[in-house]
Amino acid sequence: QVRLVESGGGWVQPGGSLRLSCAASGFTFSDRHMSWFRAAPGRERELVATVTTTGDTLTEADFVKGRFTISRDNAKKLVYLQMNSLRPEDTGVYYCNHPTKLWPWGRGTQVTVSS
């Protein structure tokens, strides 16, 4: 059974940073690309970034280029999202999943950017 558990969210002022983590289990982690998605208030869930099985960034949304970095640790079965220069419009719930949204969604982790 696939399980995805996101953590690391919180409240931060504009310009601040957060590092999100996603713990994955129930599948061969090192065989799968992984993505971060986010759901802003009143908006559809959207793709933020994708990392390949070997740790290369495959895709990045235009709105995060130069600010967010996706990475992974295959030994620990973790995916990370380092978020810098945060903006109020980055507020939302952040989720990890396969790029095709293959697995059941976890609970996500709330990120709130405000002054």
Tokens of 63: 């709105």
Residue 109, pLDDT score: 98
- What stretches of 1-115 adopt beta strand conformation (E)? 3-7, 10-12, 18-25, 34-39, 46-51, 57-60, 68-73, 78-83, 92-97, 109-113
pLDDT of residue 6: 98
**pLDDT at residue 41, rounded to an integer:** 85
- The per-residue pLDDT string of the chain (115 residues; one tens digit each, 9 = 90 and over) reads 999 999 999 999 999 999 999 999 999 999 999 999 999 988 999 999 999 999 999 999 999 988 999 999 999 999 999 999 999 999 999 999 999 999 999 999 999 999 9
Strand, helix or coil at 88?
helix
| Rounded Cα–Cα distance for residues 68 and 17 (Å) | 9
DSSP-derived secondary structure letter, 63: G
